[in-house]
């Protein structure tokens, strides 16, 4: 089935939960054909209108198959959002190969392979949006592996904007600060996170009150709104940008 010409085909990795879920639902709500992928899928928990694929972004062949399958099924691939990612804290002295490999292969290489897969099937006018992090612009304690992966995502974004621009494909990134999701709560509940001996919600409330200009944290839907803008014709002159969605935590 090919969607009407004015209906874009949008693919979202990690699109079944958290920020990725908010992005997927916003595009769907606004009339686009949305295809999501994740390592595991709950068939009963996703809107029936969403096409779903089981994909592990650590494996480039699976991402290539995802992009090709989306284009084959729906006739085009107009927007590709790399949202799959994981966040974990651990001191440098306690890093091990398995811990770093999981973060780097998911956040960094998953984004790189996703961009490559999308670029291979996109036509001029296509847009790629990478979900990075404020941690991709400034470091923090016990967070070296994660920060390294997100700094790299920003570098990928800037590099591919130059490389794919002549083909008419724009590449941008969104850099959120903390967004209250189930995944963030789990990550912050671990011993090496900055929460330390506080409750997670108390930590986030304090962070919002002391570190943000707006005295609050962004919602997942607000991040999704920036992604939607970057993928839209309204952003036709915007590429290579890594835009903070942080309520003024790190003004630039």
* Active-site annotation holds for 146: yes
Does position 159 have pLDDT exceeding 70, yes or no?
A: yes
Active-site residue (options: 146, 178, 203, 228) = 146
Residue 199 resides in a domain: no
Residue 203 resides in a domain: no
Specify the higher pLDDT residue, 204 or 7: 204
Q: Give the C-alpha separation, 129 to 12, whole Å.
A: 9
Residue 15 resides in a domain: yes
User: How many separate domains does the chain show?
Assistant: 1
Residue 192 resides in a domain: no
Largest CA distance in the chain: 54
pLDDT in the model for residue 27: 98
Distances (CA, A) of 197 to 141, 190, 205: 16, 10, 15
Q: Give the C-alpha separation, 231 to 13, whole Å.
A: 15
pLDDT tens for residues 202-224? 999 999 999 999 999 999 999 99
Residue 120 resides in a domain: yes
Does position 1 have pLDDT exceeding 70, yes or no?
A: no
Residue 34 resides in a domain: yes
232: domain CATH number?
3.40.50.720
Identify the domain containing residue 128 by its residue range: 9-179+219-245
Task: Band the pLDDT of 30: cuts 50, 70, 90.
Answer: very high
Residue 250 resides in a domain: no
Partners of 244 in the β-ladder: 175
Residue 251 resides in a domain: no
Sheet of strand 51-54, all strands in order from the earlier edge strand to the far edge: 51-54, 33-38, 9-13, 79-82, 127-131, 170-176, 242-245
Q: Give the C-alpha separation, 243 to 226, whole Å.
A: 9
């Amino acid at each position: 089935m090919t969607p009407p010409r004015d209906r874009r085909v949008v693919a979202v990795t990690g699109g079944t939960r958290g920020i990725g879920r908010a992005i997927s639902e916003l595009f769907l709500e606004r009339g686009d054909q949305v295809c999501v992928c994740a390592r595991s899928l709950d068939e009963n928990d996703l809107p029936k209108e969403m096409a779903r694929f089981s994909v592990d972004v650590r494996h480039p062949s699976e991402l290539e198959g995802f992009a090709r399958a989306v284009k084959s099924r729906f006739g085009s691939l107009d927007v590709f959002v790399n949202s799959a990612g994981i966040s974990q804290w651990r001191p440098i002295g306690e890093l091990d190969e398995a811990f770093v490999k999981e973060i780097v292969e998911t956040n960094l290489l998953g984004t790189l392979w996703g961009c490559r897969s999308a670029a291979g099937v996109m036509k001029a006018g296509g847009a790629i949006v990478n979900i990075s992090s404020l941690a991709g612009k400034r470091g923090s304690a016990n967070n070296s592996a994660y920060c390294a992966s997100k700094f790299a995502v920003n570098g990928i974004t800037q590099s591919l904007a130059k490389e794919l621009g002549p083909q008419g494909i724009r590449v941008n990134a969104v850099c959120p600060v903390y967004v209250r999701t189930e995944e963030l709560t789990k990550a912050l509940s671990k011993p090496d996170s900055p929460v330390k001996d506080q409750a997670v919600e108390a930590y986030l409330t304090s962070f919002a009150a002391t570190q943000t200009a707006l005295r609050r944290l962004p919602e997942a839907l607000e991040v999704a709104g920036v992604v939607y803008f970057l993928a839209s014709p309204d952003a036709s002159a915007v590429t290579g940008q890594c835009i903070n969605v942080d309520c003024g935590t790190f003004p630039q």
